[in-house]
Each structure stands twice: as structure tokens, then as C-alpha cells.
Amino acid sequence: MAAPQACSGIRRSLAGWYARARRDLPWRRTSDPYRIWISEVMLQQTRVQTVEPYYQRFIAQFPDVSSLAREDLQSVLKLWQGLGYYTRARNLHKAAGIVTTDMDGQIPDTWDALRRLPGIGEYIAAAVLSIAFGRVYAVVDGNVKRVLARLFLVDAPVNQARSHKVFRTLAGQLLDERNSGNHNQAMMELGALVCTPRAPDCTHCPIHRYCQALQKGVIRLYPQRDQRQALPTRRMVAGVVFKQGKILLVQRPAQGLLGGLWEFPGAALPDGVDPDRACAEQLKSTVNLDVTVDRHLDVICQVYTHFKLQMSVCLCQWQAGRVRLNEYVSFKWLSFSQIADLPLHGAMQKALALIKS
């Protein structure tokens, strides 16, 4: 760790730079803890440029916590569509209900109370408490870890959970306790705009004279990362079942991957099995329908956090049977234009574009 005098210099330089260079973002124009909370949830694992229009639409529709709590989850998921990581939206909706019913609509301003809400981990709690309430908590995200690793030559891999305590301790020691909210935002902003992963702009870095990696000429060696294993690939087949001009959509269970979202019925596709034959068999098993497979459209690829999906899409015609669900929780027969009104995951949006073309 740097000497206290160096930490003081870093804080002063960082504060001056942030006052001049920070981006004008909508969640920085408010001290409302609800709006800051929404922005921080959206910003997890998502770029600022992507988040900004989603944030504007979300706040326009749900301007406060009670309006979010009153809304149906399906509407929330639909508004979230395209941001991915849908557990974030489900937890937001659930937490809003708790705040509204159990906390008189007031976002908690203490660590323990805030952490008890669904979906609020250390990062979001520290961000909301420091930015909205001025509490002395240091934020540690990927940008902050990268800045700290280069500043202090931290050898702990940034992508390993066991390293988090190292970075949390450093961030806490460096934190400007008199203005924790701005300091946290400045650290994150520095990582986003200047101390970037592949092309850091060290010349214009406000704290470059304190950076040990720059002084030693090893800036590109930090932060250090452990090699990750390649993501496994899952293959599945999905059937677009037509019946009297309508198409069958099914809803996934509320819990688990892509919970509550809608899709074409389908199931795992074993290696070496023909998608057309597998599709008819799987539809009989999952939704109790007899179908004929007109043709195999294409294979859609989608990357999720823990695996890669290859989804074979088949056009099918209903022949017999009434829908009985196995693993799914609800179903609808819809016209093609109505499908877009439902909350759909990324692979489904690609499938719709494929069918339309």
C-alpha cells in the first residue's frame, strides 16, 4: 500500500480530474437513492452506452419504487428485454415490493438493511450508500480493480473471488471519507475512460505519477488474470408450431436461467441426432403435441454467462393434441405480430428475425 501522503495526493488529483472530466449521465443528476439503485443494477456487467436509454425508459415508466412494485413482473421483464441477466430485473421487482410494503417506500440507508434486499450485493450496497447517502463505503468493480492493480502492482488475479478481499482493503484505504460518493465514481470513471483494459491513456491520467506499473514499465502486465476454461456448448432444438395462423409460445419457470421469459417450446438436442426428428419427439414430450416438421430453418448461437447455446429452429405444423406443459408454466397461441409484446430472451429475438426474413 502507498504511504498516507501518496494516498492524499491521489485523492486530491482524482477529485480535481473528476470535477472536470466526468460524463454527464442521467443518474449523476440526482441524489434519489431509488434512481441511483436502478442505474447501478443496470450497470452491472453492462456498458454505459447500452444502459443509458434503458435507464431513461425505465425511470419514465417507473419513476419511484412504489410504481415499480405495483407493476406486473412481465411488464418489467419486457422493458428490461435486451439488457440480459434477467435475474437483475426479477430481483429489482421483488425488492421494490419489500421496500414498498415493509419499509414505507424508503430505500434503506444502512448496510445491513440494504444488503437484505434481493439482488443487492456488496458492490450495489456500497455504491448506493456512498453516492446517495454519503456513507463511507468503498466501491469495488472491474474498473476499480484495474486501477488499483496498476497503481499498487497487485498480483492477485482480478477474476478470482479469492482476490476480492485484497482489492476491497486497498479501495477502503484509498477512499476519500469526506466525499466517498464522488471518490467512488471518480475511480470507476478513471477505469472506464483512462485506465482502460487494452489501451490506457497514461499521458492524460491524473494520478500517473503515483502509478507503480507505469513507473516500472509493466502497465500491460496488469491487472493479472487467471486463465478461464472455455465455455461449454449446449445444443437444443426449438419448434415454431403453427396452428390456424397462430404460433405457440411457452413461458419458462420464474426461477432459474431466463426465468419468466417466453420462447418457442424445445429441449436438449443430443449429439448426432437429426434436428427435424428430434423436434417432433421433443414437442410431444414437452407440450403433448403431434406435429409435422416442415423444415429446419437454421442454427442460432447465443452466449450466456456459463455456456454457449446453439439452438436449431424448425418450422412445424400442428397435427393433433392439446397443450399439456412439462417444465414450462404457461402457454399462449399468438399471431406473429403479437409475439413481440412478450418479454423474450436474446435467442428468441434472433429466432423471430430469422422467421421474419
Please check whether residues 144 and 72 belong to one and the same domain.
yes
Q: Evaluate whether residue 59 is within a structural domain.
A: yes
Residue 63 confidence class, pLDDT cut points 50, 70, 90: very high
Residue 186: pLDDT band (50, 70, 90) is very high
Of 188, 221, 254, which marks where a domain is finished?
221
The answer on 257 and 201 residing in a single domain is no
Backbone dihedral angles phi then psi of residue 38, each to the nearest 5 degrees: -60, -45
The residue from 191, 221, 251 where one domain ends is 221
Q: What is the pLDDT of residues 262-283, one digit of tens each?
A: 999 999 998 888 898 899 999 9
pLDDT attached to residue 3: 60
In the chain, beta strands by DSSP E: 233-243, 246-251, 262-263, 266-268, 290-303, 308-320, 330-334
pLDDT at 66: 97
Q: Residues 17-61: pLDDT tens digits?
A: 999 999 999 999 999 999 999 999 999 988 999 999 999 999 999
Which residues form the domain of 19? 4-221
> The domain spanning residue 9 has which CATH number?
1.10.340.30
Model confidence, pTM = 0.89
Q: Which of 221, 248, 275 corresponds to the end of one domain?
A: 221
Q: Which of 225, 200, 224, 226 is nearest to 214 (CA)?
A: 200
Active site residues: 40
Q: Is the pLDDT of residue 2 over 80?
A: no
If you average pLDDT over every residue of the chain, what do you get?
94
Task: Assess if residue 188 is contained within a domain.
Answer: yes
